[in-house]
Amino acid sequence: MKLSDIILEGTYDAEGITADNVKKVDIAFVEGKTMLYGVYVYLKDGNGTNWDKKLHSKETQRMLDNLGIDIDFISDPYEAHGAVIKALKEKGIEADTSEFDVS
């Protein structure tokens, strides 16, 4: 069983995410608002253009902790996202934000 198979078993689970297997992280907010929609994780050996994991703030905090990034994401994801993106990039992980249209 590949690592990506294990990770896909629990879409909302941050287990198994490491700096070595994460290709990109996209922090998505609801369009025009500061409300977190989800954090999408793309793995190096994952599904290609599709995200491999979607995390909420609690799971994202667990992922950051596992990556050794000491930033409080749970309290205010919108306030923290800039620092999180910078910290992820410093670890060699592509990171960006986007807006999600829920209308």
DSSP 56: -
For the residues 9-30, what does the mean pLDDT come to?
Answer: 81
Domain count along the chain = 1
Cβ atoms of 51 and 17 within 8 Å: the answer is no
Give the tokens for residue 77: 């994801």
Range of the domain at 69: 3-100
- CA dihedral (33, 36, 37, 39) in degrees, to 10, reads 140
With 0-12 / 13-18 / 19 or more C-beta atoms within 10 angstroms meaning exposed / middle / buried, residue 100 is middle
Q: For residue 64, what pLDDT is reported?
A: 96
Q: Is pLDDT of 83 > 70?
A: yes
Q: For residue 28, what pLDDT is reported?
A: 96
